[in-house]
Amino acid sequence: MLAQLRALFAAQAVANHLAALPPVHSTIMDDMFPNRPTHPFALLGLEELVEVLKEIPVITRGGRSIPIGGEGVGVSFIEPLPVKPSRDITGQDLNNLKMILGNRASLEVWVRGRIDSLRRACRATTEAIAATAITGKISWPVKLDGGGWDVYEVDFGAPLTFVAPKKLDVEGVTLADAYKILSGMRTSIQNAGMGGGDIGFLAGQNAFAAILTVAENIKTTAKHNIRIEIKNGTVDVGGFVVKECAETYRDPKEGTFVKKVPDHKIVAYAKDTPGSVFYCALDDIDNNLRAMPFLSRVDKLPEGTGVKVIGHSKPMPARSPKTICWCEVVAA
């Protein structure tokens, strides 16, 4: 029966189930890390994750080439750590499973449900790690086999910051003040050599409420010469579309919930220089050490009491800190 179970959770079978399942969406990955390349090695060079490519001069015919990249980033490598959720299937469960082994449709529903729960755990964890990455530094708990904890850290460098000329929770604030903040954040990113004008904005709960309040207090847009539109959970201020992000993730060590975007801040990001979630080579011999976004395998539980279905992913969310700008727009 073990061989049958392993076949049910083999790479191609998992790929078929993933294709049939609805996609999982999450704000930080979808908006700020839309690229999903696989990487054939277990290590990633830091330079390729954060390098910023800018304009270069042309050269005379036969002239020397112009080096690009390597601006202040040493030759160093990062080893992404794996995400490995699992689900136990007891001997009692396996005996019950025998009753549907001959019913392919029922068996596929059973397998697909387990794959779905494991891939959602991997996705939620990757989303949370990505939320720490936009601060300029990944910091995530590592569960040690002995029962202790360590910290997984990757430092990309400090993101850009913009100081609001006037915060949006003070008396007399106007729509123009909100526009100046958003425009200033865009300029900060452009001055860093990133973004040709397509800038996205995510606002924490209080920050978004402040922009919404300013927008709703405007009785007419004509006298302000700034377009304002509120729809579908966004506020468009003169062409700058701000989306609320009041979501949280759970810290697996402390059990506390952390805001992906702090309540009092807005984060701007260059949409035309998107971030990536690299999926690195997995430490799995049965799958030839291939780089895959997700796979599963089946192992025996100790003393033959059942089996364990293990999900496996090795994600690395990365984007240049110069494509991100933070601003505190209301009091913390």
CATH number at residue 214: 3.30.1930.10
62 is a domain residue: no
Q: Which residues make Cβ contacts (< 8 Å) with residue 290, sequence separation at least 6?
A: 11, 281, 282, 284
Sign of CA dihedral 159, 192, 263, 201: negative
Residues 111 and 240 in one domain: no
Residue with tokens 């690229």: 35
Residues 152 and 191 in one domain: no
**Contact between residue 298 and residue 6 where contact means Cβ atoms under 8 Å apart:** yes
Residues 129 and 199 in one domain: no
Give the pair of three-digit tokens for residue 305: 């009491």
Q: How confident is the model at residue 50 (pLDDT cuts 50, 70, 90)?
A: low
Give the pair of three-digit tokens for residue 51: 């390098």
Per-residue pLDDT reduced to its tens digit, 196-246: 679 999 999 999 999 999 988 875 545 567 788 888 889 999 999 999 999
Query: Phi and psi at residue 193, in whole multiples of 5°?
Result: 90, 15
Q: How confident is the model at residue 303 (pLDDT cuts 50, 70, 90)?
A: confident
Tally of domains within the chain: 2
Give the pair of three-digit tokens for residue 274: 């998107």
Residue with tokens 């054939």: 40
Instruction: Report the percent of the chain where pLDDT is more than 70.
Output: 89
Average pLDDT, the chain: 87
Do the strands 160-161 and 149-155 form a parallel or antiparallel pair, or are they unpaired? Answer: unpaired
Residues 170 and 311 in one domain: no
Range of lowest pLDDT (69-78, 148-157, 265-274, 284-293): 69-78
Residue 74 has what pLDDT?
Answer: 46
Q: How confident is the model at residue 270 (pLDDT cuts 50, 70, 90)?
A: very high
* Structural domain harbouring 306: 2-57+67-156+278-318
**Cα 231 to the center of its chain, rounded Å:** 25
Residues 15 and 148 in one domain: yes
Residue 58 has what pLDDT?
Answer: 56
DSSP labels, 231-274: ETTEEEETTEEEEE---EEE-TTT--EEESS-TTEEEEEETTS-
Per-residue pLDDT reduced to its tens digit, 120-156: 999 999 999 999 999 999 999 999 988 899 999 999 8
235 is a domain residue: yes
Q: Which of these, 14, 5, 319, lies nearest to 136 by C-alpha position?
A: 319
